[in-house]
Amino acid sequence: MGPGNALADATVLVTGASRGIGAATARLLAAEGAHVLVNYRDKAKRADAVVAAIAAKGGTAATVQADITSDADLDRMFGAIASLRVLVLNASGGLERDVDPGYALRLNRDAQVALASKALPLMANGGRIVYVTSHQAHFSATVDTAADELEAYAPVARSKRAGEDALRAMLPEFTARGVDFVTVSGDMIEGTITATLLERAQPGTIAQRREATGGLLTVDQFAAHVADAATADLPTGEVVLAGGPGAWAQV
């Protein structure tokens, strides 16, 4: 995707944009002319660096701190946004140390629903919600995606699929507001912290995913799919399988 103006004058919010796929998506959407709100939870310096990189290329962006599992934080964040064209639901987690057993569902399902609900009134003139997920999560409803070396990720995968289902259940509400909903799913992404954590928990995981898929996407390649989904001509409810279905082609 080269620089363009598909999102000129539009405000877009990318959750969890202080690093990884969210940060790369924020940079790509800014190159399309969007004013990008770079949400982060803790890492203010990293979020500032994302905004500075966008500004250095002539784009506009601002950081917006919010722990998306906090209703008060969400209200503060949305209270400062006048209108929104695109909401990219990228922030995710559940593999962190010291989190309680209910955290993955609170973050990957409940917070996503709360974000979408609170964003809708700001998307009065139509817009799009993009939900970012993994193949291990997306396909967990139909196949045992944890049957190989990915057991450590299984609870997170289930919570992310629960988030996808809960958002999908909101489709009539989105449509009534003229808002589209698109899911972008990918297999393990090269060079991410999640991949590193899973490799540490279960050595051999990355090599196994490479073999199963015929090659993993990089952060920039996956982010390009996410950014494209923000403006591409897609029917609401579409699921974009970035890099193809890979290991689950038979499903």
Nearest by Cα to 86 from 157, 207, 161, 180: 180
Q: Which of 103/177 has CB closer to ligand NAP?
A: 103
Cα 5 from chain centroid (whole Å): 22
- In the complex, least distance from residue 195 CB atom to ligand NAP, rounded to whole angstroms: 5
- In the complex, least distance from residue 179 CB atom to ligand NAP, rounded to whole angstroms: 20
Q: Which residues bind ligand NAP (CB under 6 A)?
A: 15-16, 18-22, 40-43, 67-69, 90-93, 107, 132-134, 160, 186, 188-189, 192-195
List residues bridging with 13 in a β-sheet. 37, 87
Reported as type and span, the H/E element at residue 175 is: helix 171-176
Using alpha carbons, list the distances in angstroms from residue 179 to 13, 117, 201, 222.
Answer: 15, 12, 40, 23
List residues bridging with 114 in a β-sheet. none
- In the complex, least distance from residue 76 CB atom to ligand NAP, rounded to whole angstroms: 13
Q: Which of 54/91 has CB closer to ligand NAP?
A: 91
- In the complex, least distance from residue 221 CB atom to ligand NAP, rounded to whole angstroms: 11
- In the complex, least distance from residue 8 CB atom to ligand NAP, rounded to whole angstroms: 26
| 3-class state of residue 233 by DSSP | coil
Q: Which of 41/109 has CB closer to ligand NAP?
A: 41
Nearest by Cα to 10 from 61, 63, 77, 55: 61
Q: Which of 11/145 has CB closer to ligand NAP?
A: 145
Number of residues that this document lists for the chain: 251
Q: Which of 45/176 has CB closer to ligand NAP?
A: 45
User: How many Å apart are CA 216 and CA 53, to the nearest integer?
Assistant: 26
